[in-house]
Copies of this chain bind each other. A is one copy, B any other.
Amino acid sequence: MTNSFMKAALDEAELPAERDEVPVGAVIVHQGEIIARGGNRTLELNDPSAHAEIVVIREACEKLGSQRLNNCDLYVTLEPCTMCAALISFARIRRLYIAAEDVKGGGVLNGVAFYDQDTCHHAPDVYSGMQETAAGEMLKRFFKSRRAEG
């Protein structure tokens, strides 16, 4: 079941890749169903806040009419950055499922490790490494093709 949700997040990463954006996708699951899905849209929208996680959290909040997503789980293909880690906390996401780790830019398992900090007032349960090979390969392909073009 959870594997199909990460698969859906990986599918959402395809669109940014086609637009030459870093391929990250995410979905939010509520009561066993996907209620929001999307990918990184920073370049497309000229919006540096439009990471996949923020795109789907905003969509889910709109759908549920609340700024709290207490019983929702988030699946994302790359470890959230510091900005997204904090928003996931503010939105009260229950469980966070991560595919590939992001040693350079992550803020959950790496970097500021936000959920371990005193200034973090809600931490989701974190599950990492799900389908990390597929997610990692997608990212590697993307950066390889960018280097080839450059």
Contact = CB atoms under 8 A, between A and B. Distances in A.
Interface in A79-122: 81-87, 90-91, 104-107, 110-112, 114, 117-120
Contact of A67 (B46, B87, B105, B107): B46
Contact of A90 (B48, B62, B107): B48
Interface residues of A, number: 36
Contacts of A48: 57, 61, 67-68, 87, 90-91
B83 A61 contact: no
Interface of A: 42-43, 46-49, 54, 57-58, 61-62, 65-68, 81-87, 90-91, 104-107, 110-112, 114, 117-120
